[in-house]
Amino acid sequence: MNAIISASELAGELTGDDPPVLLDVRWQLSLAKASGEPPFDGRAEYEAGHIPGAVYVDLDRELASAPGSRGRHPLPDLAEFGTAMRHAGVTSGTPVIVYDGGQGWAAARAWWLLRWTGHPDVRVLDGGLPTWEGPLETSVPTPAEGDFEPVPGATELLDADSAAALARSGVLLDARAGERYRGEVEPIDPVGGHIPGALSAPTNENVAADGRFLPAGQLAARFKALGASEGTAVGVYCGSGVSAAHQVLALEVAGIPAALYVGSWSEWSSAPSRPVAVGADPQ
């Protein structure tokens, strides 16, 4: 099953006999404290206009726990996550399609969580809301309660120790911008640099200028050049486990299964005892 869907395909499915559950996960990484600008309000954006039938999901509150020693976006409490998904109408037997404002990171986080907890049919709208040419609505739907019960473990999850081990034995990709990987800048976390042995693979190089994923063959060639191909143990991390989910999705499109280190750099760098590499050299 393809992990992504085009806007035209989504329009067709929404008018079919068995329409999917549609989740709107608009979110942006907030640097409001540093910039002085007000924080991004995904719910307000949703209420101003969304794809008909879509239910809003709050990434910070429903797809993650509170920030702490496990990172800025640690795994959510599974009972609370399950409740949120059922309130959104998610059932185990109905396809789910997730979209965001176009960057794809937040939608991929929802996709990964639903897949990791056992939902069999989840896809991301390729390119997000900007690709949608149909009508938008402002009314907030009240879907029938779903029956989805999250059972973790359907896909592979990394912690700090297993990520470090994978960097030595397989391929660990760092999805952040290259300057953060090299430790030249670090606007969010306390320490710049990368996990020793990890390879720089910025997420934005997986998409075209319009935010849509590159063709599967092109993605596969990119990852192969980094040493990641089918049959290789591959993992991904980023700053807080959000953009890395988008890279896991890109690898899925390319036919390469990959594990996600949810805690990512925000967890790794919080412990002074963990080693940090800087510069372009993985080590």
Q: Which CATH number goes with the domain that contains 226?
A: 3.40.250.10
Domain count, the chain: 2
Claim to verify: residue 96 and residue 182 sit in the same structural domain: no
Residue 273 inside a domain? The answer is: no
Token readout for 105 is 């990171």
What range does the domain containing 238 cover? 157-268
Please state the separation of Cα 281 from the chain's center in Å: 26
Over the stretch 23-76, which tens digit does the pLDDT of each residue have? 999 998 865 444 566 788 999 999 999 999 999 999 999 999 999 999 999 999
Q: Of all helices (H) and strands (E), which one includes residue 145?
A: none
Residue 61 inside a domain? The answer is: yes
With b for 16 or more beta-carbon neighbours within 10 A and e for fewer, the 256-280 pattern comes to: bebbbbbbbbbbbbbeeeeeebeee
Average of per-residue pLDDT across 242-253: 98
Claim to verify: residue 125 and residue 17 sit in the same structural domain: yes
Claim to verify: residue 31 and residue 118 sit in the same structural domain: yes
Claim to verify: residue 104 and residue 12 sit in the same structural domain: yes
Over the stretch 115-152, which tens digit does the pLDDT of each residue have? 999 999 999 999 999 999 999 999 999 999 999 999 99
| Residue in 238, 245, 254, 277 annotated catalytic | 238
Is 216 designated active site? no
